[in-house]
Amino acid sequence: MAAERLERILGRLANDAGSPARTARLCKVCADITEMSGAGIMLMDGDLPKGSVCTSNAVSALIEELQYTLGEGPCVDAYSHRRPVSEPDLADPVVARWMAFTPPAVEAGARAVFGFPLNVGGARLGALNLYRDRPGAMRSDQYADALAMACVAAQAVIGMQADAAPGGIGAELEVGTNFQFVVHQASGMVAVQLGVTITEALIRLRAFAFGLDRLVADVAKDVVEHRLRFGDPDHE
Check whether residue 199 and residue 159 sit in a common domain: no
> What's this model's pTM, rounded to 2 decimal places?
0.75
Phi, psi (rounded to 5 degrees) for 45? -140, 115
Coil, helix or strand at residue 76: helix
- Per-residue pLDDT band for 75 (boundaries 50, 70, 90) equals very high
Residue finishing a domain among 124, 142, 168: 168
* Residue 98 within a domain: yes
The H-or-E segment that residue 27 falls in is helix 22-34
Check whether residue 133 and residue 194 sit in a common domain: no
Q: How many CA atoms lie within 13 A of 118 on its CB side?
A: 26
Check whether residue 100 and residue 210 sit in a common domain: no
Check whether residue 155 and residue 191 sit in a common domain: no
Q: How many domains is the chain built from?
A: 2
* Residue 186 within a domain: yes
Coil, helix or strand at residue 86: strand
On the question of pLDDT at 123 being above 90, the answer is: no
Check whether residue 194 and residue 98 sit in a common domain: no
* Residue 234 within a domain: no
User: Could you read off the pLDDT of 163-197 as tens digits, one per residue?
Assistant: 655 555 555 555 555 556 677 677 778 888 888 88
Mean pLDDT of the chain: 82
Using a 10 angstrom Cβ sphere, with 0-12 exposed, 13-18 middle and 19 or more buried, the burial of residue 65 is buried
Residue 166 identity (one-letter amino acid): P
Residue 189 identity (one-letter amino acid): M
CATH code where residue 50 lies: 3.30.450.40
Most confident of 10-19, 62-71, 89-98, 164-173: 89-98
| Structural domain for 24, as ranges | 2-168
User: Could you read off the pLDDT of 139-171 as tens digits, one per residue?
Assistant: 999 999 999 999 988 888 787 666 655 555 555
Check whether residue 136 and residue 200 sit in a common domain: no
Residue 59 identity (one-letter amino acid): V
